[in-house]
Structures are given as C-alpha cells and as structure tokens.
Amino acid sequence: MKLNNLNDLLIHELQDIYSAENQITKALPKMIKAASSDKLKQAFEQHLQETEQQIQRLESVFELVGEKAKGEKCKAMEGIIKEAESMMSEKADQSVMDAALIACAQRVEHYEIAAYGTVSTYAKQLGLKDVMKQLVQTLEEEKKTDALLTKIAEQTVNKQAE
Ligand code: FE
Ligand code: FE
Ligand code: FE
C-alpha cells in the first residue's frame, strides 16, 4: 500500500500495533506461568485483561476510520517476544527469572508507548478526536504498566535476585 498522507500512515501504524497487541495476548499467558512472584503474576494477569480491552478499543478505532484491522505483522514485537521465549527457556533461579521477565515485559511496554504515542499524535493532527481519546487511554495504561513493573522490580524482585 502506498502511503500518500498522514492518514495512510496512521492506518499502517494502527495495523502494526493491532498485530503487536494480538501477539502480546499469546505471550502473556506463558509469562504468567513462568513468573514466581505473586505481585508479578498479578501484574501480568491484570495487563492481559487490559490488553484484551486494548484490542477491542483498536477494533472500534478501525470502525471509526472505516478501515480493516488486519494488514501488517509487527515484526518488532515478534522479535521482542522471541527474546522473551528464549529467556524463559534458560535455567534460572526463580527470582532471577522474575527479574528477566520484567526486563522482557518492559521492552514490550516501551515499544507500545512509542507506538501509541505516535498514533495518538497523528490522530490529534488529523482532528480525529474520538480516535485520539481511545489511543491516549491505551497509552496511559501502557505507561502505568511500565511504572508498575519498575516498582515490582525495585521493591521486590531485583532484591531477591541479588
Ligand atoms: Fe497493549
Ligand atoms: Fe511494529
Ligand atoms: Fe502493554
């Protein structure tokens, strides 16, 4: 698809993040299983639920802009998840594995923060207020998740791993 304008780029980026979110819903259950810390498991479980809502939110965004949700595969998220999977296959002490899982999960969140930050800015520029609102809502959830992971790492997991 030729990208002629910012609207085309917005659709392209939305399809990428839609693919990314779908990949994340498949990876998170494995990360929940691999985690030992209750706090970390809980954070992953909560974010899995949020991620499912984020996918629905994206589907409503696609309806608003009259485009299909599918089209792009997010190869970056595929790579980030591959790294997480190879980390989960390592032999590691429980708390060290928890620390490693946080490291992987924060890579996911940072990618999402970049992606949602970008698309919400495009939506704003294009005057798509309802679209922008939904994207900003998800952006805030990703930021909160990232901050929660930092907190769990600093207050619990990293100390135990040390
Ligand atoms: Fe997400
Ligand atoms: Fe991508
Ligand atoms: Fe996320």
Is 109 domain-assigned? yes
| Domain count for the chain | 1
pTM score:
0.96
Is 98 domain-assigned? yes
Ramachandran bin of 158, using left for φ above 0, alpha for ψ from -120 to 50, beta for the remaining angles = alpha
Distance from the alpha carbon of residue 54 to the mean position of ligand 1, in angstroms: 6
Is 115 domain-assigned? yes
Distance from the alpha carbon of residue 60 to the mean position of ligand 1, in angstroms: 15
> Could you tell me how far CA 81 lies from the centroid of its own chain?
11
Measure the CA–CA gap between 16 and 24, rounded to whole angstroms: 12
For 102, the domain range is: 6-161
CA distances from 32 to 35, 37, 137 (A): 5, 10, 24
Distance from the alpha carbon of residue 28 to the mean position of ligand 1, in angstroms: 11
| Tens of pLDDT, residue by residue, the chain (162 residues) | 789 999 999 999 999 999 999 999 999 999 999 999 999 999 999 999 999 999 999 999 999 999 999 878 999 999 999 999 999 999 999 999 999 999 999 999 999 999 999 999 999 999 999 999 999 999 999 999 999 999 999 999 999 999
Say if residues 89 and 31 touch (Cβ distance below 8 Å): no
Ligand closest to CA 77: 2
